[in-house]
A and B are shown apart, each in its own frame.
Chain A
């Protein structure tokens, strides 16, 4: 019965666990949080290159405005809005709102809908003012 305390089995047992919408959205919050750090680094480099001067800014700006650069920015934007709305849902849970299974199910769809809407809205702002 006694096992090595440093080596106890961990829950959930991922190899036999059936994923559902709620569990997938939950781990997505972590994954987007980790991924967003790279978007943040890109942003920090962008401002740093701006502070150095026009030559370095033009070089770095060329990189983030290339196809790959824009795809990374788009990915960061999607991750940002997902993490944003999923995080807002966590804040509601933190004050005790929305715990019922039915409400969790509904707010999952609300998070997805809000994320997609804001991605489209942000892209439209970018296109029409760019």
Chain B
């Protein structure tokens, strides 16, 4: 019997082969976030209270820009994977569960667009 056919289980992270893929990709983002978190946090605590020009110059540097962009995008992806598991654990009403998962998906894609737009503008901004 396929696990996916167990009655009452819906959603990506608790269903058959999809759940295996979900589990593996969650580990993938976790491992990527280990170096990215360290690099980003060290950068951030050094500049977060500095004046605009200094912060802008820091994040216009290609390496800092890329590290910050990857850190935020992969965190967002990692958050989505984690919150999906949490929702599938605690929200038992299938209609509410599916609606919540869909809304979170839309919100994450919206934020991805905002983040990419922001980082491209920061990189191209003339001082």
The interface of chain A, by Cβ under 8 A from chain B, is 5-6, 30, 33-34, 36-37, 40-41, 43-44, 46-48, 50-52, 54, 57-58, 61, 64-65, 73, 77, 80, 84, 87-88, 90-91, 94, 122-123, 125-126, 129-130
Contact = CB atoms under 8 A, between A and B. Distances in A.
A91 B27 contact: yes
A108 B59 CA distance: 36
Interface magnitude class on chain B: 35 or more
A73 B30 contact: no
Given A34-B86, A57-B55, A84-B34, A47 B72 contact: yes
A73 B45 CA distance: 10
B31 to A, nearest CB: 7
Given A44-B72, A94-B27, A125-B42, 17 more contacts: A34-B82, A34-B83, A36-B79, A40-B72, A41-B111, A44-B115, A46-B48, A47-B118, A48-B115, A50-B118, A64-B48, A84-B34, A90-B30, A122-B42, A122-B45, A123-B45, A126-B48
Contact of A130 (B31, B46, B79): B46
Nearest to A39: B75
Contact of A87 (B30, B44, B76, B86): B30
B102 interface: no
Q: Is the interface of A mostly helix, strand, loop or mixed?
A: helix
Interface of B: 7-8, 27, 30-31, 33-34, 37, 41-42, 44-46, 48-50, 52, 55-56, 59, 68, 72, 75-76, 79, 82-83, 86, 92, 111, 114-115, 117-119, 121-122, 125
